[in-house]
Structure 1
């Protein structure tokens, strides 16, 4: 199971505005995979966090903790 984040959360992690993130998504230049489903963007958390320098073990542990708490 994968964990996703919102465009606003992704923008915050990247240090950019939501408007910039929206433009990147629409242009296809967002730095990690993102998928549009109807009117919503789905952004998997793992690729973005790994791109930002988090270790894969750290990311996987955080995602597992998040899913276990849900």
Structure 2
């Protein structure tokens, strides 16, 4: 996902957003991320898979250290 044009393009608007305000993703892609994902199934799939992959890694780390979930069924 980090090398996808859709997610790289907003970086070209970073300076503009800092100086003038706005959302870089929207400036680069013409829509906010959720609308864009809804209209572009390939990007939506890429985004969802990236979030799921990250969630698996993060949850393993959290569950290995945090003891508060043991009482939940």
Question: Same fold by TM (over 0.5)?
Answer: no
- In terms of fraction of residues, the more helix-rich structure is 2
Normalised to the residue count of structure 2, the TM-score between the two structures is 0.30
| Length-normalised TM-score, structure 1 | 0.30
Higher relative contact order (CA 8 A, sep 6+): 1
